[in-house]
Structure 1
Amino acid sequence: MDAHEEPPGPLTVAAAQAEAVPGDVTGNAGTAARLVATAAAGGARLLVLPELFLPAYHPPTLRADPAGTDVAAGPDGRVDDPRLAALPRAAAEHGVVAVLGAAVRWPDGRRTCSVLVADPSGAIRVGYDKQHLCGPDENELFMPGDRGATLSLDGWLLGLGVCYDGCFPEHGRAAAAGGTHGYLCPSGYVEGSQHRRDLYYAARALDNTMYVVFANPVGGTDPWRFNGGAAVYDPEGRPVRRAADTGEEVVLATLRPELLRSVRAEHPMLTDRLPHQGGPRAVITV
Protein backbone atom coordinates (compact mmCIF):
# COMPACT_ATOMS: atom_id res chain seq x y z
CA MET A 1 0.00 0.00 0.00
CA ASP A 2 1.04 3.64 -0.44
CA ALA A 3 2.78 5.02 2.63
CA HIS A 4 0.06 7.66 3.17
CA GLU A 5 -2.97 5.62 2.19
CA GLU A 6 -5.77 5.36 4.73
CA PRO A 7 -6.30 1.89 6.22
CA PRO A 8 -9.15 0.02 4.53
CA GLY A 9 -11.02 -0.92 7.69
CA PRO A 10 -10.90 -1.21 11.47
CA LEU A 11 -8.30 -3.25 13.32
CA THR A 12 -8.80 -4.67 16.81
CA VAL A 13 -5.64 -4.75 18.87
CA ALA A 14 -4.66 -5.80 22.39
CA ALA A 15 -2.00 -4.67 24.87
CA ALA A 16 -1.01 -7.07 27.63
CA GLN A 17 0.56 -6.77 31.03
CA ALA A 18 1.81 -9.86 32.85
CA GLU A 19 4.62 -10.97 35.09
CA ALA A 20 7.56 -12.69 33.42
CA VAL A 21 9.83 -15.04 35.37
CA PRO A 22 13.54 -14.07 35.10
CA GLY A 23 15.39 -16.55 32.90
CA ASP A 24 12.38 -18.77 32.15
CA VAL A 25 12.14 -18.32 28.39
CA THR A 26 10.01 -21.45 27.92
CA GLY A 27 7.56 -20.52 30.67
CA ASN A 28 7.30 -16.91 29.54
CA ALA A 29 6.64 -18.03 25.95
CA GLY A 30 3.84 -20.19 27.36
CA THR A 31 2.39 -17.16 29.15
CA ALA A 32 2.58 -15.19 25.91
CA ALA A 33 0.76 -18.01 24.09
CA ARG A 34 -1.99 -17.99 26.72
CA LEU A 35 -2.38 -14.22 26.35
CA VAL A 36 -2.62 -14.64 22.56
CA ALA A 37 -5.65 -16.86 23.15
CA THR A 38 -7.15 -14.26 25.50
CA ALA A 39 -6.64 -11.50 22.95
CA ALA A 40 -8.15 -13.63 20.19
CA ALA A 41 -11.23 -14.31 22.31
CA GLY A 42 -11.78 -10.54 22.35
CA GLY A 43 -11.48 -10.32 18.58
CA ALA A 44 -7.92 -9.00 18.39
CA ARG A 45 -5.72 -9.49 15.34
CA LEU A 46 -2.66 -8.10 17.11
CA LEU A 47 -1.26 -8.51 20.62
CA VAL A 48 1.57 -6.38 22.02
CA LEU A 49 3.46 -7.73 25.05
CA PRO A 50 6.14 -6.03 27.19
CA GLU A 51 9.81 -5.30 26.60
CA LEU A 52 12.17 -8.27 27.14
CA PHE A 53 9.15 -10.40 28.04
CA LEU A 54 10.75 -13.69 26.99
CA PRO A 55 13.73 -13.54 29.38
CA ALA A 56 12.04 -10.98 31.70
CA TYR A 57 13.45 -7.52 32.26
CA HIS A 58 15.90 -8.46 35.01
CA PRO A 59 19.46 -7.24 34.35
CA PRO A 60 21.18 -9.52 36.89
CA THR A 61 19.78 -12.61 35.15
CA LEU A 62 20.49 -11.22 31.68
CA ARG A 63 24.06 -10.53 32.76
CA ALA A 64 24.65 -13.86 34.51
CA ASP A 65 23.11 -16.18 31.89
CA PRO A 66 23.24 -14.75 28.37
CA ALA A 67 23.14 -18.21 26.78
CA GLY A 68 19.98 -19.09 28.69
CA THR A 69 18.19 -15.78 28.23
CA ASP A 70 18.99 -14.96 24.58
CA VAL A 71 17.27 -16.26 21.47
CA ALA A 72 19.39 -16.68 18.34
CA ALA A 73 18.49 -14.94 15.09
CA GLY A 74 19.67 -16.00 11.67
CA PRO A 75 21.18 -13.51 9.22
CA ASP A 76 17.68 -12.85 7.87
CA GLY A 77 16.26 -12.23 11.36
CA ARG A 78 14.41 -15.54 11.60
CA VAL A 79 14.22 -17.11 15.05
CA ASP A 80 13.93 -20.88 15.39
CA ASP A 81 14.05 -21.76 19.08
CA PRO A 82 12.21 -24.80 20.46
CA ARG A 83 11.63 -22.99 23.76
CA LEU A 84 9.25 -20.65 21.93
CA ALA A 85 7.17 -23.39 20.28
CA ALA A 86 3.96 -22.54 22.15
CA LEU A 87 3.93 -18.99 20.81
CA PRO A 88 3.89 -19.54 17.01
CA ARG A 89 1.49 -22.43 17.60
CA ALA A 90 -0.92 -20.06 19.37
CA ALA A 91 -0.47 -17.37 16.72
CA ALA A 92 -1.32 -19.88 13.99
CA GLU A 93 -4.27 -21.36 15.86
CA HIS A 94 -5.87 -18.01 16.65
CA GLY A 95 -4.82 -15.93 13.64
CA VAL A 96 -3.13 -13.33 15.86
CA VAL A 97 0.14 -11.49 15.31
CA ALA A 98 2.13 -11.27 18.56
CA VAL A 99 4.71 -8.53 19.13
CA LEU A 100 6.93 -9.01 22.18
CA GLY A 101 10.34 -8.23 23.62
CA ALA A 102 13.38 -10.52 23.61
CA ALA A 103 17.14 -10.48 24.04
CA VAL A 104 18.50 -11.47 20.63
CA ARG A 105 21.92 -12.82 19.72
CA TRP A 106 22.92 -12.20 16.10
CA PRO A 107 25.38 -14.30 14.03
CA ASP A 108 28.02 -11.56 14.32
CA GLY A 109 27.83 -11.71 18.13
CA ARG A 110 25.74 -8.59 18.69
CA ARG A 111 23.18 -8.74 21.48
CA THR A 112 20.13 -6.53 21.03
CA CYS A 113 17.01 -5.63 22.98
CA SER A 114 14.54 -6.46 20.27
CA VAL A 115 10.94 -6.84 19.20
CA LEU A 116 9.96 -10.27 17.88
CA VAL A 117 6.98 -10.74 15.58
CA ALA A 118 5.21 -14.11 15.69
CA ASP A 119 2.68 -14.39 12.88
CA PRO A 120 -0.08 -16.84 11.95
CA SER A 121 2.16 -18.60 9.42
CA GLY A 122 4.07 -19.99 12.41
CA ALA A 123 7.16 -17.88 11.76
CA ILE A 124 9.01 -15.77 14.31
CA ARG A 125 11.34 -13.03 13.15
CA VAL A 126 13.09 -10.03 14.63
CA GLY A 127 11.07 -6.94 13.76
CA TYR A 128 13.11 -4.20 15.36
CA ASP A 129 16.16 -3.58 17.58
CA LYS A 130 15.80 -0.90 20.26
CA GLN A 131 17.70 2.22 19.24
CA HIS A 132 17.70 4.23 22.49
CA LEU A 133 19.22 2.16 25.28
CA CYS A 134 18.28 3.32 28.77
CA GLY A 135 20.78 3.56 31.59
CA PRO A 136 23.97 1.68 32.45
CA ASP A 137 22.45 -1.80 32.53
CA GLU A 138 21.03 -1.68 29.00
CA ASN A 139 24.12 0.01 27.62
CA GLU A 140 26.31 -2.69 29.13
CA LEU A 141 24.11 -5.58 27.99
CA PHE A 142 23.03 -4.56 24.49
CA MET A 143 24.05 -2.90 21.26
CA PRO A 144 21.63 -0.28 19.88
CA GLY A 145 19.72 -0.80 16.67
CA ASP A 146 20.47 1.46 13.73
CA ARG A 147 17.15 1.69 11.88
CA GLY A 148 13.42 2.01 12.38
CA ALA A 149 10.83 -0.56 11.38
CA THR A 150 7.16 -0.71 10.45
CA LEU A 151 4.76 -3.62 10.74
CA SER A 152 2.13 -3.85 7.98
CA LEU A 153 -1.05 -5.65 9.03
CA ASP A 154 -4.43 -5.62 7.28
CA GLY A 155 -3.60 -2.30 5.61
CA TRP A 156 -2.43 -0.64 8.83
CA LEU A 157 1.16 0.59 9.07
CA LEU A 158 2.40 0.36 12.66
CA GLY A 159 5.77 1.75 13.72
CA LEU A 160 7.82 -0.27 16.21
CA GLY A 161 9.51 1.18 19.27
CA VAL A 162 10.70 -0.12 22.63
CA CYS A 163 10.18 1.76 25.91
CA TYR A 164 12.84 4.52 25.99
CA ASP A 165 12.46 5.03 22.21
CA GLY A 166 9.04 6.47 22.99
CA CYS A 167 10.56 9.13 25.25
CA PHE A 168 12.03 10.81 22.18
CA PRO A 169 9.52 12.77 20.06
CA GLU A 170 11.78 12.27 17.05
CA HIS A 171 11.35 8.51 17.14
CA GLY A 172 7.58 8.58 16.91
CA ARG A 173 7.77 11.41 14.38
CA ALA A 174 10.10 9.40 12.15
CA ALA A 175 7.51 6.61 12.14
CA ALA A 176 4.68 9.02 11.34
CA ALA A 177 6.72 10.73 8.63
CA GLY A 178 7.06 7.30 7.04
CA GLY A 179 3.28 7.03 6.80
CA THR A 180 2.42 5.01 9.89
CA HIS A 181 -1.05 4.99 11.39
CA GLY A 182 0.04 3.68 14.78
CA TYR A 183 3.01 3.02 17.06
CA LEU A 184 3.59 -0.18 19.05
CA CYS A 185 5.67 0.13 22.22
CA PRO A 186 6.60 -2.90 24.32
CA SER A 187 7.98 -1.30 27.49
CA GLY A 188 9.37 -1.85 30.98
CA TYR A 189 8.32 0.94 33.37
CA VAL A 190 9.06 0.44 37.05
CA GLU A 191 7.15 1.53 40.13
CA GLY A 192 7.33 5.29 40.64
CA SER A 193 7.34 6.17 36.94
CA GLN A 194 3.56 6.26 36.43
CA HIS A 195 3.48 9.96 35.55
CA ARG A 196 6.05 9.59 32.77
CA ARG A 197 4.55 6.27 31.63
CA ASP A 198 1.16 7.90 31.09
CA LEU A 199 2.53 11.10 29.58
CA TYR A 200 5.06 9.92 26.98
CA TYR A 201 2.82 7.65 24.94
CA ALA A 202 -0.23 9.89 25.05
CA ALA A 203 2.08 12.67 23.81
CA ARG A 204 3.47 10.53 20.99
CA ALA A 205 -0.12 9.80 19.92
CA LEU A 206 -1.12 13.47 19.89
CA ASP A 207 2.20 14.71 18.45
CA ASN A 208 1.71 12.51 15.42
CA THR A 209 -2.07 12.04 15.33
CA MET A 210 -1.63 8.27 15.42
CA TYR A 211 -2.77 5.40 17.61
CA VAL A 212 -0.33 4.11 20.22
CA VAL A 213 -0.38 0.62 21.76
CA PHE A 214 1.64 0.41 24.99
CA ALA A 215 2.42 -2.83 26.87
CA ASN A 216 4.19 -3.05 30.23
CA PRO A 217 5.00 -5.78 32.78
CA VAL A 218 3.68 -6.15 36.30
CA GLY A 219 5.24 -7.78 39.35
CA GLY A 220 8.90 -8.27 40.10
CA THR A 221 10.94 -7.01 43.05
CA ASP A 222 12.63 -3.65 43.61
CA PRO A 223 14.33 -2.08 41.78
CA TRP A 224 12.67 -4.02 38.94
CA ARG A 225 9.08 -3.92 40.15
CA PHE A 226 6.87 -2.96 37.23
CA ASN A 227 3.75 -0.83 37.19
CA GLY A 228 1.46 -2.12 34.43
CA GLY A 229 -0.81 0.52 32.94
CA ALA A 230 -1.01 -1.18 29.52
CA ALA A 231 -3.03 1.08 27.24
CA VAL A 232 -4.22 1.99 23.78
CA TYR A 233 -4.26 5.72 22.98
CA ASP A 234 -6.30 7.33 20.22
CA PRO A 235 -4.82 9.88 17.75
CA GLU A 236 -5.62 12.75 20.14
CA GLY A 237 -3.74 11.08 22.98
CA ARG A 238 -6.82 9.92 24.88
CA PRO A 239 -6.66 6.47 26.48
CA VAL A 240 -9.22 4.27 24.74
CA ARG A 241 -8.44 1.56 27.29
CA ARG A 242 -5.97 1.46 30.16
CA ALA A 243 -5.20 -1.34 32.58
CA ALA A 244 -4.62 -1.02 36.32
CA ASP A 245 -1.13 -0.61 37.76
CA THR A 246 -1.11 -4.18 39.10
CA GLY A 247 -2.34 -7.58 37.99
CA GLU A 248 -2.33 -9.48 34.73
CA GLU A 249 -4.64 -7.92 32.16
CA VAL A 250 -5.28 -7.71 28.42
CA VAL A 251 -6.90 -4.50 27.17
CA LEU A 252 -8.55 -4.40 23.76
CA ALA A 253 -9.45 -1.53 21.47
CA THR A 254 -10.45 -1.10 17.85
CA LEU A 255 -8.40 1.25 15.68
CA ARG A 256 -10.75 3.11 13.33
CA PRO A 257 -9.68 4.72 10.05
CA GLU A 258 -12.48 7.28 10.18
CA LEU A 259 -11.26 8.61 13.53
CA LEU A 260 -7.68 8.71 12.23
CA ARG A 261 -8.90 10.68 9.20
CA SER A 262 -11.01 13.16 11.18
CA VAL A 263 -8.30 13.87 13.77
CA ARG A 264 -5.67 14.40 11.10
CA ALA A 265 -8.01 16.75 9.25
CA GLU A 266 -8.69 18.79 12.39
CA HIS A 267 -5.12 18.73 13.72
CA PRO A 268 -2.82 18.73 10.67
CA MET A 269 0.51 18.84 12.54
CA LEU A 270 2.04 16.28 10.20
CA THR A 271 1.39 18.39 7.11
CA ASP A 272 1.91 21.81 8.76
CA ARG A 273 5.27 20.90 10.31
CA LEU A 274 8.11 23.11 9.08
CA PRO A 275 10.85 20.95 7.56
CA HIS A 276 13.63 22.80 9.37
CA GLN A 277 11.65 24.21 12.31
CA GLY A 278 12.42 27.82 11.48
CA GLY A 279 15.98 27.43 10.27
CA PRO A 280 19.01 28.81 12.16
CA ARG A 281 18.34 30.09 15.68
CA ALA A 282 18.45 33.79 16.35
CA VAL A 283 19.94 34.93 19.68
CA ILE A 284 18.13 37.85 21.25
CA THR A 285 20.21 39.66 23.86
CA VAL A 286 18.35 41.69 26.46
Structure 2
Amino acid sequence: MPSGGSVFGVAEVDDLGNFPEKFLSGYEPDLIRADPLRCAVRPGDPRLEPIADACRGTGTVAVVGAAFHDQGELYVSALVIDANGELAARYDKQHLFKSEREIYRAGGAGCTLELEGWRLGLGICYDSGFPEHARAAALDGCHAYVVGALFSVGNGYHESRTWFPARALDNTCYAVLANHIGTTGGWNACGSSAVWGPDGRPLAEAAADRPELITADLDPQALGTVRDAEPMLSDLRDTTTHTRTRRRLG
Protein backbone atom coordinates (compact mmCIF):
# COMPACT_ATOMS: atom_id res chain seq x y z
CA MET A 1 0.00 0.00 0.00
CA PRO A 2 1.34 3.48 -0.75
CA SER A 3 1.55 4.54 2.91
CA GLY A 4 3.51 1.44 3.90
CA GLY A 5 0.80 0.54 6.41
CA SER A 6 -1.63 -2.28 7.01
CA VAL A 7 -5.20 -3.10 6.07
CA PHE A 8 -7.45 -4.74 8.65
CA GLY A 9 -10.82 -6.36 8.04
CA VAL A 10 -13.43 -5.61 10.69
CA ALA A 11 -16.52 -7.72 11.34
CA GLU A 12 -19.71 -6.45 9.71
CA VAL A 13 -21.54 -3.99 11.94
CA ASP A 14 -24.02 -1.16 11.70
CA ASP A 15 -22.03 1.55 13.51
CA LEU A 16 -18.57 2.93 14.08
CA GLY A 17 -17.77 5.00 17.17
CA ASN A 18 -14.74 7.31 17.13
CA PHE A 19 -13.19 8.72 20.33
CA PRO A 20 -10.58 11.44 21.05
CA GLU A 21 -6.83 11.06 21.33
CA LYS A 22 -5.75 9.29 24.56
CA PHE A 23 -9.41 9.08 25.54
CA LEU A 24 -8.79 6.36 28.15
CA SER A 25 -6.32 8.36 30.24
CA GLY A 26 -6.85 11.94 29.18
CA TYR A 27 -4.08 13.89 27.51
CA GLU A 28 -1.77 13.75 30.55
CA PRO A 29 1.88 13.41 29.43
CA ASP A 30 3.46 13.93 32.86
CA LEU A 31 1.13 11.45 34.53
CA ILE A 32 1.62 8.85 31.81
CA ARG A 33 5.40 9.25 31.79
CA ALA A 34 5.55 8.93 35.60
CA ASP A 35 3.53 5.71 35.73
CA PRO A 36 3.10 4.15 32.27
CA LEU A 37 2.07 0.73 33.59
CA ARG A 38 -0.90 2.26 35.37
CA CYS A 39 -1.87 4.91 32.82
CA ALA A 40 -1.14 3.16 29.51
CA VAL A 41 -2.91 0.01 28.35
CA ARG A 42 -1.04 -3.07 27.10
CA PRO A 43 -1.71 -6.04 24.80
CA GLY A 44 -4.36 -8.21 26.45
CA ASP A 45 -5.12 -5.53 29.04
CA PRO A 46 -8.19 -6.55 31.08
CA ARG A 47 -9.12 -2.87 31.48
CA LEU A 48 -10.30 -2.91 27.86
CA GLU A 49 -13.01 -5.45 28.69
CA PRO A 50 -15.79 -2.91 29.42
CA ILE A 51 -15.26 -1.46 25.94
CA ALA A 52 -15.17 -4.94 24.44
CA ASP A 53 -18.42 -5.81 26.22
CA ALA A 54 -20.09 -2.65 24.95
CA CYS A 55 -19.02 -3.38 21.37
CA ARG A 56 -20.29 -6.96 21.58
CA GLY A 57 -23.57 -5.84 23.11
CA THR A 58 -24.30 -3.14 20.55
CA GLY A 59 -22.67 -4.51 17.38
CA THR A 60 -20.41 -1.47 17.23
CA VAL A 61 -16.80 -0.96 16.21
CA ALA A 62 -14.96 1.50 18.48
CA VAL A 63 -11.83 3.46 17.61
CA VAL A 64 -10.52 4.42 21.04
CA GLY A 65 -7.59 6.74 21.77
CA ALA A 66 -5.09 5.45 24.33
CA ALA A 67 -1.54 5.62 25.50
CA PHE A 68 -0.23 2.15 24.69
CA HIS A 69 2.68 0.33 26.32
CA ASP A 70 4.27 -2.35 24.15
CA GLN A 71 7.67 -4.04 24.60
CA GLY A 72 9.04 -1.23 26.72
CA GLU A 73 7.90 1.57 24.41
CA LEU A 74 5.05 4.05 24.74
CA TYR A 75 2.85 4.97 21.77
CA VAL A 76 -0.05 7.33 21.15
CA SER A 77 -2.47 4.83 19.69
CA ALA A 78 -5.92 4.33 18.24
CA LEU A 79 -7.25 0.93 19.31
CA VAL A 80 -9.87 -0.67 17.08
CA ILE A 81 -12.28 -2.90 19.04
CA ASP A 82 -14.51 -4.85 16.67
CA ALA A 83 -18.12 -5.97 17.12
CA ASN A 84 -16.90 -9.27 18.60
CA GLY A 85 -15.05 -7.38 21.33
CA GLU A 86 -11.64 -8.20 19.87
CA LEU A 87 -8.71 -5.83 19.46
CA ALA A 88 -8.74 -5.97 15.66
CA ALA A 89 -6.14 -3.30 14.89
CA ARG A 90 -3.89 -0.70 16.44
CA TYR A 91 -2.67 2.46 14.78
CA ASP A 92 0.24 4.38 16.33
CA LYS A 93 0.49 8.12 15.75
CA GLN A 94 3.11 8.82 13.08
CA HIS A 95 3.55 12.58 13.57
CA LEU A 96 4.31 13.35 17.20
CA PHE A 97 3.82 16.88 18.50
CA LYS A 98 6.98 18.47 19.93
CA SER A 99 5.91 17.91 23.56
CA GLU A 100 5.31 14.18 22.88
CA ARG A 101 8.66 13.24 21.39
CA GLU A 102 10.42 12.76 24.72
CA ILE A 103 7.79 10.28 25.88
CA TYR A 104 6.46 8.36 22.90
CA ARG A 105 7.80 6.50 19.91
CA ALA A 106 6.37 7.44 16.52
CA GLY A 107 4.40 4.83 14.63
CA GLY A 108 5.93 3.37 11.52
CA ALA A 109 2.89 2.59 9.37
CA GLY A 110 -0.51 3.85 8.33
CA CYS A 111 -3.67 1.87 9.00
CA THR A 112 -6.71 1.24 6.79
CA LEU A 113 -9.84 -0.47 8.09
CA GLU A 114 -12.29 -2.31 5.85
CA LEU A 115 -15.83 -2.12 7.18
CA GLU A 116 -19.02 -2.99 5.28
CA GLY A 117 -17.42 -2.08 1.98
CA TRP A 118 -15.95 1.17 3.30
CA ARG A 119 -12.24 1.78 3.66
CA LEU A 120 -11.36 4.02 6.60
CA GLY A 121 -7.94 5.60 7.13
CA LEU A 122 -6.96 6.30 10.73
CA GLY A 123 -5.11 9.36 12.01
CA ILE A 124 -4.38 10.97 15.37
CA CYS A 125 -4.42 14.74 15.90
CA TYR A 126 -1.15 16.20 14.52
CA ASP A 127 -1.17 13.61 11.71
CA SER A 128 -4.04 15.55 10.16
CA GLY A 129 -1.86 18.65 9.73
CA PHE A 130 0.18 16.85 7.07
CA PRO A 131 -1.64 16.56 3.73
CA GLU A 132 0.51 13.55 2.81
CA HIS A 133 -0.98 11.53 5.67
CA ALA A 134 -4.57 11.75 4.48
CA ARG A 135 -3.43 11.49 0.86
CA ALA A 136 -1.70 8.17 1.60
CA ALA A 137 -5.01 6.89 2.98
CA ALA A 138 -6.88 8.13 -0.09
CA LEU A 139 -4.37 6.49 -2.42
CA ASP A 140 -4.99 3.26 -0.50
CA GLY A 141 -8.64 3.54 -1.49
CA CYS A 142 -9.99 5.11 1.68
CA HIS A 143 -13.41 6.73 1.57
CA ALA A 144 -13.07 8.43 4.98
CA TYR A 145 -10.28 9.83 7.15
CA VAL A 146 -11.05 9.09 10.83
CA VAL A 147 -9.14 11.03 13.49
CA GLY A 148 -9.12 11.29 17.28
CA ALA A 149 -7.51 14.46 18.59
CA LEU A 150 -6.91 17.14 21.15
CA PHE A 151 -7.31 20.55 19.55
CA SER A 152 -7.20 23.49 21.94
CA VAL A 153 -9.21 26.68 22.18
CA GLY A 154 -7.84 29.38 19.86
CA ASN A 155 -5.24 28.25 17.38
CA GLY A 156 -6.16 24.58 17.74
CA TYR A 157 -9.73 25.33 16.73
CA HIS A 158 -8.46 27.35 13.78
CA GLU A 159 -6.21 24.45 12.73
CA SER A 160 -9.02 21.91 12.92
CA ARG A 161 -11.33 24.09 10.82
CA THR A 162 -8.59 24.58 8.25
CA TRP A 163 -7.08 21.11 8.08
CA PHE A 164 -10.16 18.89 8.05
CA PRO A 165 -12.16 20.55 5.27
CA ALA A 166 -8.92 20.62 3.25
CA ARG A 167 -8.19 16.93 3.88
CA ALA A 168 -11.77 16.10 2.85
CA LEU A 169 -11.80 18.17 -0.33
CA ASP A 170 -8.22 17.40 -1.38
CA ASN A 171 -9.00 13.70 -1.31
CA THR A 172 -12.76 13.80 -1.95
CA CYS A 173 -13.34 11.71 1.16
CA TYR A 174 -15.29 12.07 4.38
CA ALA A 175 -13.31 13.48 7.32
CA VAL A 176 -14.25 12.57 10.88
CA LEU A 177 -12.89 14.33 13.99
CA ALA A 178 -13.44 13.34 17.63
CA ASN A 179 -11.99 15.99 19.96
CA HIS A 180 -11.66 16.49 23.72
CA ILE A 181 -13.62 19.07 25.68
CA GLY A 182 -12.55 20.78 28.90
CA THR A 183 -9.05 20.80 30.33
CA THR A 184 -6.60 17.89 30.14
CA GLY A 185 -2.83 17.85 30.34
CA GLY A 186 -2.80 21.62 30.73
CA TRP A 187 -4.63 22.15 27.45
CA ASN A 188 -8.04 23.81 27.22
CA ALA A 189 -9.66 21.71 24.51
CA CYS A 190 -12.13 23.27 22.09
CA GLY A 191 -14.54 20.35 21.64
CA SER A 192 -16.47 20.83 18.39
CA SER A 193 -16.07 17.28 17.12
CA ALA A 194 -17.33 17.19 13.56
CA VAL A 195 -17.83 15.32 10.30
CA TRP A 196 -17.13 16.85 6.88
CA GLY A 197 -18.41 15.58 3.55
CA PRO A 198 -16.17 14.74 0.59
CA ASP A 199 -16.74 18.27 -0.74
CA GLY A 200 -15.23 19.75 2.46
CA ARG A 201 -18.55 21.01 3.76
CA PRO A 202 -19.53 20.27 7.40
CA LEU A 203 -22.23 17.64 7.95
CA ALA A 204 -22.41 17.60 11.76
CA GLU A 205 -20.70 19.47 14.60
CA ALA A 206 -20.73 18.97 18.37
CA ALA A 207 -20.80 21.64 21.05
CA ALA A 208 -17.59 23.29 22.20
CA ASP A 209 -18.23 23.03 25.95
CA ARG A 210 -20.19 19.88 26.79
CA PRO A 211 -20.09 16.15 26.00
CA GLU A 212 -22.15 15.40 22.94
CA LEU A 213 -22.62 12.49 20.53
CA ILE A 214 -22.92 13.43 16.87
CA THR A 215 -23.75 11.06 14.04
CA ALA A 216 -23.45 11.14 10.27
CA ASP A 217 -24.28 8.69 7.50
CA LEU A 218 -21.58 7.96 4.95
CA ASP A 219 -23.42 7.94 1.64
CA PRO A 220 -21.76 6.07 -1.25
CA GLN A 221 -23.90 7.89 -3.82
CA ALA A 222 -22.90 11.30 -2.45
CA LEU A 223 -19.27 10.22 -2.40
CA GLY A 224 -19.45 9.10 -6.03
CA THR A 225 -21.15 12.30 -7.10
CA VAL A 226 -18.45 14.46 -5.52
CA ARG A 227 -15.65 12.35 -6.97
CA ASP A 228 -17.18 12.65 -10.43
CA ALA A 229 -17.40 16.43 -10.07
CA GLU A 230 -14.00 16.88 -8.38
CA PRO A 231 -11.64 14.32 -9.98
CA MET A 232 -8.51 15.31 -8.03
CA LEU A 233 -7.59 11.75 -7.15
CA SER A 234 -7.97 10.39 -10.66
CA ASP A 235 -6.14 13.40 -12.12
CA LEU A 236 -3.29 13.24 -9.60
CA ARG A 237 0.18 13.09 -11.19
CA ASP A 238 3.28 11.75 -9.48
CA THR A 239 5.39 14.90 -9.34
CA THR A 240 8.22 13.21 -7.45
CA THR A 241 9.61 11.79 -10.71
CA HIS A 242 9.37 15.00 -12.73
CA THR A 243 12.22 17.41 -13.35
CA ARG A 244 11.83 20.74 -11.58
CA THR A 245 13.26 23.95 -13.02
CA ARG A 246 14.73 26.71 -10.88
CA ARG A 247 15.49 30.25 -12.04
CA ARG A 248 17.25 33.05 -10.15
CA LEU A 249 15.73 36.42 -10.92
CA GLY A 250 17.68 39.64 -10.42
- So what's the TM-score if we normalise by structure 1? 0.79
Cα deviation, residue 44, structure 1: 6.0
Unaligned 5+ segments in structure 1 are 1-42, 74-79
| Separation in 2, partners of 1:156, 1:224 | 34
* Aligned sequence identity (%): 42
Check the 8 A contact 1:116/1:128 in 2, yes or no: yes
Q: CA RMSD in A?
A: 1.6
Aligned: 1:157 with 2:119: yes
Letter in 2 for 1:63: R
| Separation in 2, partners of 1:195, 1:104 | 29
Check the 8 A contact 1:189/1:217 in 2, yes or no: yes
Match of 2:39 in 1: 69
| Separation in 2, partners of 1:223, 1:142 | 18
Unaligned 5+ segments in structure 2 are 1-12
Letter in 2 for 1:46: L
Match of 1:211 in 2: 174
Q: Write out per-residue CA displacement over residues 254-281 of structure 1, whole angstroms, 9 at most, x where no aligned residue.
A: 0000011011111000011111168232
Check the 8 A contact 2:79/2:90 in 1, yes or no: yes
The residue correspondences of 1:54-203 to structure 2 (distance < 5 A) are 54-73=24-43, 80-107=44-71, 109-135=72-98, 137-192=99-154, 193-203=156-166
Match of 2:187 in 1: 224
Cα deviation, residue 125, structure 1: 4.3
| Separation in 2, partners of 1:233, 1:138 | 28
Aligned: 1:245 with 2:208: yes
Q: Say which structure, 1 or 2, has more relative contact order (CA 8 Å, 6+ apart).
A: 1
Q: Write out per-residue CA displacement over residues 125-184 of structure 1, whole angstroms, 9 at most, x where no aligned residue.
A: 44211100011x210111001111101111100001111111000000000001111110
Cα deviation, residue 60, structure 1: 1.7
Aligned: 1:52 with 2:52: no
Q: Write out per-residue CA displacement over residues 222-258 of structure 1, whole angstroms, 9 at most, x where no aligned residue.
A: 7312111100110011110011211101110000000
Check the 8 A contact 1:190/1:223 in 2, yes or no: no
Q: Write out per-residue CA displacement over residues 63-82 of structure 1, whole angstroms, 9 at most, x where no aligned residue.
A: 22211111112xxxxxx222
SS in 1 for 2:166: helix
Check the 8 A contact 2:21/2:150 in 1, yes or no: yes
| Separation in 2, partners of 1:66, 1:277 | 41
Check the 8 A contact 2:123/2:148 in 1, yes or no: yes
Letter in 2 for 1:119: D
| Separation in 1, partners of 2:23, 2:120 | 20
Count matched residues.
236
Cα deviation, residue 285, structure 1: 2.6
Q: Write out per-residue CA displacement over residues 98-123 of structure 1, whole angstroms, 9 at most, x where no aligned residue.
A: 0011111113x221111101111111
